[in-house]
Chain A
Amino acid sequence: MSRRVRTLLGVLIFAMSIALLIWGLAPLRREIRIQNISPSEMQLPTPISLRSDLWVAL
């Protein structure tokens, strides 16, 4: 009887410990965002573009 209880307790501790190890060592999920950059966003900012923005605003 005592041997059965001991085995049961040991398996329980083992299972819980393995669960803790899995939680602590599991690789984290990584999120990846892909963003396209339009040519206009990569252009040199010029006074002409600023003026056009002003014209649009007006």
Chain B
Amino acid sequence: MSRIIFSPRFTATQRRHLTQSFFLAALMLFLLSCGGGAMATEAPSSMATSVAPTQGVVPSTPQPSVEATTQPAIPERRLLALEFPPRIRAGDSDIVRLTLNMDDAGNITPTAVVDGNVITGEVIEIPNLYETHHVVVEASFDISGIQVSPPSLSSQTLSPGQSVMFFWSIRPVEVGVYRGTVWLFLRFVDKVSGEESRRAVSAQMVEIEAVNLFGVPARVVRAVGGVGSIVGAVIGFPFFEDIVKFLFKKRRR
């Protein structure tokens, strides 16, 4: 190459042209390299401009809701089911039941089984406080005029994947409409400091009507009904009288 360039056969004009073309090629290479660099630097700038608006939008989203979801939480879902008799026979007893159900996977599934029918509700996450606190569920049934057992506050420890159930036995003595409240509290006991805090979760009004039949207590009504059905059968159905006589004779023998 150098031998060709500096060959005595090349004239001065040819050498000048060769030099010019060389510089021209070098200039084009330089421009190309500058352009590619500019493109390379432009790409990040376009990315930056595309990212910038999203970064600007984030603070405009409601910040408190984000904080609320980042609160300590466990994947548990809970549902409160209250079961009670709105009407009860005076003198009879019945059960009031308050339940928190959970599923086998440790999630609380809002289910309640009533007469074979499964009632399912909405699932809701609750904060995970089991790691830092002992969670105690407390419940009470406050109603006047009806005998309630247990009459005071009942409490159970709430563990992950465990359901909690409260029962009250009620017995109205007299006829009337009785109104009461079923309370549910959560008591948090700090595992380290032992500090306690209590929170009322639910207060449900309950109305129970105690009835009887024309002033006759249910116990008496059942006794009269039992005796009357036997007497009525003996009087009304002659063959039934024969059956009764036959049975009594057989017993005597």
Contacts and interface: CB of A to CB of B under 8 A. Distances in A.
A18 B73 CA distance: 57
A10 to B, nearest CB: 2
Measured as residues with beta carbon below 8 angstroms from the partner, the interface class of chain A is 35 or more
Nearest to A6: B235
Chain B interface mostly helix, strand, loop or mixed?
mixed
Interface in B177-225: 186, 188, 197, 199, 201-202, 204, 213, 218, 221-222, 224-225
A9 to B, nearest CB: 6
Contacts, number: 151
Interface residues of B, number: 54
A24 B218 contact: yes
A42 B78 contact: yes
B143 interface: no
Interface of B: 68, 71, 73, 78-89, 94, 110, 112, 114, 119, 121-122, 124-127, 129, 133, 186, 188, 197, 199, 201-202, 204, 213, 218, 221-222, 224-238
5 contacts: A7-B238, A21-B225, A25-B222, A34-B81, A35-B202
The 3 A-B pairs of least Cβ separation, nearest first, read A10-B236, A14-B232, A17-B228
